[in-house]
Structure 1
């Protein structure tokens, strides 16, 4: 995407986003564009920057270079002073009102409205009963609903262990008990056939209410894995579990990336069972990827065809959400995933 020569940083209550062009700004959600006044302000800033960065010979054509430049400098210094003032006010406000965690809200709506912008929960301090975990998974997780009765207690115990091993950061003043339970359940789901399932490299689960922004490059995301954190959009996470057969599930997708990082990239020279089994998948994924690029009837979306990491994560999504289609169209790929994950979802 073409960029203007100087970026603009948009400051909000608890975040700041860098925008490199008016085209990028126009693609922001309305909630982030702000008021009409703010949109006019951004447009004006870009006009100022374009004028400043216009070659002098071009400026002379309008016959008002000196007076125009003086006005521009006044506007620029005014904008800088205004933003410094806003930043100082925000820092003072945050020092006087530190954000402390509140208790989880539940569907009943009886909890008081928290006065914070984000919540932090230590997983080992969240005391959910096995009945609570069972009830939530039974209601929202189709995979859990298909499990035999004797497997469900094992699944619940793994969810409890996974929760205890993570810290949950909720980028919203409201938290729900379904958040740590269901996100942990998505990790347990793809690792249910494996002995090691805690993904210890990842200590943080970051939950955004909806789409969020990432830097370098500037982009809108619904989920990503970076450093020691797994980040997800709660809105998209719920939507994907409500439609369990469309082949799209951001929870499974990001947990698949995390699984890959944990066992393939974190200690690349260290041998483990997952890495050995992954070789079955690695021997045939190129053939399927190339077939998808040239096929008129695709099972994978465009994002999956970008690179092998995305192809892996999407393959895991399809393994759980469209197992019959995957097994029918690409039986070797399905069999390799069955070996890697030690599960047979088509038989559930």
Structure 2
């Protein structure tokens, strides 16, 4: 046998294995039971056409394949996993191939927790947070708040979406309310100007946006995004200019 065969065969085998490897997401599919849960509990999914629903399901399946979801003091069920994944997919639904590279796992707590991550006793007012420092790559969520955001009808708050928008904001290296990976540079100054104008309106009682948005620009982005996705028609009617900037940012018009 030609000696070159022994030199070339390993290289050819490696190339073959690389080429035959499925791209991320290919072959991943949600079971019918999971599709039914999405149809029951996720309004965003309900409002999609059949083709868009299939895409949403694929993105949810990819997220669940890439990110670990675990619990502290509870065992996450399939609905919990689907609601976490839906929270992740909704803001980036229009972006092909997006992956939360700054997230490895999501930790669910039974209820609100405190700064020391205790979920029993007093002074528990944290519903969700994106980890920093030694907790970088993790997200902590209150399961009760997560479920309330999807299962409570008519509200404009969604803790899951809120925290994943923080994660999108953080993807450029700074959680500052200016998601540079989503916002074109020429829109940065108009965006900040509009944010500060709306903050003033909130302070003077002339805006229906949750006052928690006054905390800082990063919280304003997440709070406004909750409203944008949860009650898009109302948001568009009451905040048309802000709606248009968020629509450009997320490449979506949910309302």
TM range (shorter): 0.7 to 0.9
Distance 1:195 1:163, change over 3 A: same
Picking from 203, 210, 214, the partner of 1:301 is: 210
Give the superposition deviation at 1:289.
Answer: 1.5
Partner of 2:35: 134
Distance 1:220 1:189, change over 3 A: same
Distance 1:291 1:167, change over 3 A: same
Distance 1:336 1:303, change over 3 A: same
Residues 71, 108 of structure 2: 8 Å contact kept: yes
Give the superposition deviation at 1:172.
Answer: 2.5
Give the superposition deviation at 1:133.
Answer: 2.9
| Partner Cα distance (2:74, 2:226) in 1 | 30
- 1:289 and 2:199 are equivalent in the alignment: yes
Residues 69, 76 of structure 2: 8 Å contact kept: no
| Partner Cα distance (1:134, 1:331) in 2 | 33
Residues 263, 275 of structure 1: 8 Å contact kept: no
TM-score by length of 1: 0.57
- Secondary structure at the counterpart of residue 125 of structure 2: strand
| Partner Cα distance (1:264, 1:147) in 2 | 32
Partner of 1:328: 237
Partner of 1:274: 182
Distance 1:174 1:141, change over 3 A: same
More divergent stretch after superposition (187-196 vs 272-281): 272-281
| Partner Cα distance (1:173, 1:233) in 2 | 11
Partner of 1:220: 125
Residues 130, 156 of structure 1: 8 Å contact kept: no
Taking only aligned residues, the RMSD between alpha carbons, in angstroms, comes to: 2.5
- Taking the TM superposition and a 5 Å limit, the aligned residue runs for 1:1-348 are 129-215=30-116, 220-226=125-131, 227-263=136-172, 265=174, 273-276=181-184, 279=188, 281-294=191-204, 296-346=205-255
Detail structure 1 runs of 4+ shifted over 6 Å in the superposition. Answer: none
Structure 1 runs not aligned, ≥5 long: 1-123
Residues 167, 203 of structure 1: 8 Å contact kept: yes
| Partner Cα distance (1:313, 1:261) in 2 | 12
- Secondary structure at the counterpart of residue 344 of structure 1: coil
Give the superposition deviation at 1:239.
Answer: 1.5
- Secondary structure at the counterpart of residue 333 of structure 1: helix
TM-score by length of 2: 0.76
| Partner Cα distance (1:259, 1:244) in 2 | 26
Structure 2 runs not aligned, ≥5 long: 1-24, 118-122
- Secondary structure at the counterpart of residue 345 of structure 1: coil
| Partner Cα distance (1:221, 1:274) in 2 | 27
Give the superposition deviation at 1:333.
Answer: 0.7
Distance 1:343 1:290, change over 3 A: same
| Partner Cα distance (1:170, 1:311) in 2 | 28
Distance 1:205 1:148, change over 3 A: same
Larger Rg: 1
- The alignment of Structure 1 onto Structure 2 pairs a total of residues equal to 215
Offset from partner CA, 1:143-182 (integer Å, 9 cap, x none): 1011111111100000011111111221124331112222
- Secondary structure at the counterpart of residue 150 of structure 1: helix
| Partner Cα distance (2:164, 2:154) in 1 | 18
Residues 30, 58 of structure 2: 8 Å contact kept: no
- Secondary structure at the counterpart of residue 76 of structure 2: coil
| Partner Cα distance (2:203, 2:97) in 1 | 34
